[in-house]
Each structure stands twice: as structure tokens, then as C-alpha cells.
Amino acid sequence: MTERPDTRLRDWLDETIGQIPEAAKGTQQVMSQIEKTPQVGRWLPFPLLQRKAKASTPTTDHTAHFQPSPIPATNGHSPNAPGRTQSMLSPVKAITAGALVFTIGGMLLIAQPFDQQASAPQAEAETEAPTWVTGKVAYASSCTSPSQEVDGDVRHAWGYQCSPQRWTSSDQRLSGAVSYRWNEDVYKVDESFISVNTAAAYLRNDDGGWACSSSNLLEGSGLYPHWVTGETLTCVGEGGHEGLSALVVIDQGDPSHPLVGLIFSGGFPPVPEPPAAD
């Protein structure tokens, strides 16, 4: 049946839709709620990046404003635009500069001991360099719910598990299958339920793994809660990723679940000391 759409099912689904409400009425109701629904901008983690993004996508007005003024052609000749169509260096200067760079570079190379020439210390430094990561999370196809225990006004639900989630990111080290688990305590506050959860994401890939954790505040509970905030996971590298840490932020409110993060060497900065008692 999955080979192609089933016409009997399609006809039945189509027939049972019934009377369709007026689009104009529905639209009116949507528009009446637009006021209190702010638009969310393109998701970039820092204002600096947002400013860059805006600057790199000029609006129509900007384009018109920054159009270069035409160069008037005089005496029937095409105008020359120095610096664009001609080299700023004369051929003699260019050859001299090239020879100078080649000579100095060669001398530096010869001056280096041979055993150092063979090694590539820079390559090692590059693998340990902090790396900015972007990507997305594909939720797991199945989850298991835990048994629950009510303790007065609190409901404890420990042992949720959704796997395999899949993290796909711009850095292979932070891509792979993830077992996402959490425990939650659910509190009833003003006739609604608020969950406090502690979550863990265990990522495994060919080179190693990551153990990530987060604490979160959610409206509702269980498998379909509403995230009050994005999820910030602190991750520690394991296996081939040992010695590395990562901070990963997932926008759980966005249906495409984008993630950004930074992979870096070493650990997280320490918690600041409490203020000295007076």
C-alpha cells in the first residue's frame, strides 16, 4: 500500500473532511491574534551575527542608495576606473615584490631544522582549535515513558528515553546518534502543570562520544511539553573526543530544532566564588 497513494483511502479522507469553514472568518481570527504574537527573527545566537546578516542582505532601498554613479564617457572613449581594471603595481614592481617574498620564504625554510620540517605542529593545533558548530536535531521515532509516582503535590516521572535522536551538524565530531533521556518532576501551579527536568544526551559516533546534560523548565510534561526556554547542554567529550568540551544550544521551540554550539579544548570556567561574608 505504501508503494503509491491508495485511492480508496484518499477518496474517503477527502469525503470526510466535510464542510470547510470560511477562510475569511478563520483569517480574521488569526489576524486578531497577530498583535500579541511577535515575529521571531532569523535564529542567530549573537546580536553581532545578526548585525552582520542584516548588513549582508541589503534591502531594495540600500541597493538603490549604494549604486555607483555612472562614469561619464568623454570624447567618445570608454572611461578608465583606476584600481579596478588596471593593476595598482607596475610590472617591474610586481616582479621585484614576488622575488623578494620567494627569497625570504626560502631562507626561513632552510633555516628551520630538518626534523621540524617533517612534523606538522600547525595541523595538531588546528584540530584542537575552538570550532563553531551549527546543525539540527531530528527527534527520535519512538520514546519510552517511565512509571510515575505521585508524592503529595509533585509527580515524579523518572526514566524517559527517546532514541535514536540524530544530531546533524557542521562538525562531524558533534554529529551522530543520540540517546536522549530525562527525569522530571511535575508541579501543579495555578491549574497548569510545570515540569522541572534534568536531561542527558549521549551522543555516539565513529570517533568517540559526548555526554551532555541540561536542566530545563517546561510547561506541561511528558513527551509533548512546551519549552519555556531553549535547551543549553554542557557536553564532555569521551573516547576520541576526550579532553574536549562543547556547549550546545538547541532551539526546542522551533519545529526544525536548530542547534548551535562551540567545541573547545579543556573544561568550562569554574563557578565564581560566593561573596565574602561581612
What is the contact surface with other proteins in residues (CB under 8 A)?
A: 1-2, 5-6, 9-10, 12-21, 23-24, 26-27, 29-31, 33-34, 37-43, 138-139, 141, 166, 220, 224, 226, 254-257
* 3-state helix, strand and coil shares in percent for the chain, rounded to the nearest 5: 25, 35, 40
Residue closer to other proteins (CB basis): 205 or 237: 205
Residue closer to other proteins (CB basis): 50 or 213: 50
Length of the chain equals 278
Q: Give the nearest distance from C-beta 192 to other proteins in angstroms.
A: 12
Question: Which H, E and C letters describe 58-92, residue by residue?
Answer: CCHHHHHHCCCCCCCCCCCCCCCCCCCCCCCCCHH
Residue closer to other proteins (CB basis): 236 or 257: 257
Residue whose grid cell is 565530531: 173
Residue closer to other proteins (CB basis): 137 or 244: 137
Q: Give the nearest distance from C-beta 36 to other proteins in angstroms.
A: 10
To which H or E segment does residue 174 belong? none
Q: Give the nearest distance from C-beta 42 to other proteins in angstroms.
A: 5
In sequence order, which residues have a C-beta less than 8 Å from that of residue 219 and are 6 or more positions away? 192, 193, 194, 195, 225, 226, 228
Q: Give the nearest distance from C-beta 198 to other proteins in angstroms.
A: 23
Residue closer to other proteins (CB basis): 162 or 244: 162
Residue 106's Cα: distance from chain center in Å?
Answer: 43
Residue closer to other proteins (CB basis): 26 or 239: 26
Q: Give the nearest distance from C-beta 8 to other proteins in angstroms.
A: 9
Between CA 83 and CA 143 the distance in angstroms is 63
Rg (CA), the chain: 30
Residue 37's Cα: distance from chain center in Å?
Answer: 24
Q: Give the nearest distance from C-beta 246 to other proteins in angstroms.
A: 22
